[in-house]
Amino acid sequence: MTTSPKFRIRDAGAVEGDDQFVIAAFDAVIPYLTSIGSHEQWGTIPFSHREGWVDETVQQIKDSSKSSALQDDQNKNGVLRIFIVEKKCNADGPEYFDPPLAHYRVSSDRRYLSVGFAFVRENWIPGYIESQRHLQVPESERESNIYLEVMVTDSRVGSLRRGAGSALIQGIRDYGRKKQKKAFWLDGWAGNDKKLVRYYKNQGFEVVGDFSLPRANKAPWVGTLMQMDI
């Protein structure tokens, strides 16, 4: 897929161990969010401890890998695609990183360290956004959009993930342009002084509107719907 001087983006499921990388990075983001005051975004329970979550995620990666190879599936509304962003590292250079859980793909003279991923759907708006009557998505964009369902960079690799989110966003936008989509949509958590919303604004997204979702025995989940032209 898209490449940059520092990063490469590819389909999840193409390399053995991709599923374990995604699961581990999801788990690692929980303590990271807590450390920056954003624990209310996804809670404090590791994703892998949530009933049925691991099996569902592994199946999603398998389905995404299959749909990437089948043109007919790619054109279906709401089909999930999962992309992994890799950091280009010299095999023995200063960016070499080898903790027990590092997920590398090795080529002739480089290692590609997985540093993040994104879940993306085409021609799709989530039901919790559809239920917000004050948030209007133009009909033309419902039928020709890319929706970023979730994006995570791996907090375990420290500064090696810097720029990975931007690379993913640009890669997904390029993918949407190739598929002749009109708009790139997402929603982000709006708590903790809207730090995540400000991040996406700095990436070129514009705010459409805010919303809140009720949660049992908890404060509402607050979010912001955002959009970028492709």
42-78: pLDDT as tens digits: 999 999 999 999 999 999 999 999 987 775 555 578 8
Domain contains 138: yes
Would you say the pTM of this structure is higher than 0.85?
Answer: yes
- Domain of residue 79 covers 7-229
pLDDT interval class at 38 (50, 70, 90): very high
Domain contains 2: no
The stretch 211-227 carries a mean pLDDT of 93
What pLDDT score does 78 carry?
A: 87
The stretch 107-121 carries a mean pLDDT of 90
pLDDT interval class at 97 (50, 70, 90): low
Closest Cα partner for 125 from 225, 207, 201, 198?
225
Each residue's pLDDT tens digit, 146-198: 999 999 999 999 888 999 999 999 999 999 999 999 999 999 999 999 999 99
pLDDT interval class at 98 (50, 70, 90): low
Domain contains 100: yes
Q: How many domains does one find in the chain? A: 1
Q: Which residues neighbour 43 within 8 Å (Cβ) at sequence distance 6 or greater?
A: 30
More confident residue, 104 or 86: 86
Q: What is the CATH number of the domain that holds 189?
A: 3.40.630.30
What pLDDT score does 90 carry?
A: 72
pLDDT interval class at 99 (50, 70, 90): low
What pLDDT score does 174 carry?
A: 96
Domain contains 111: yes
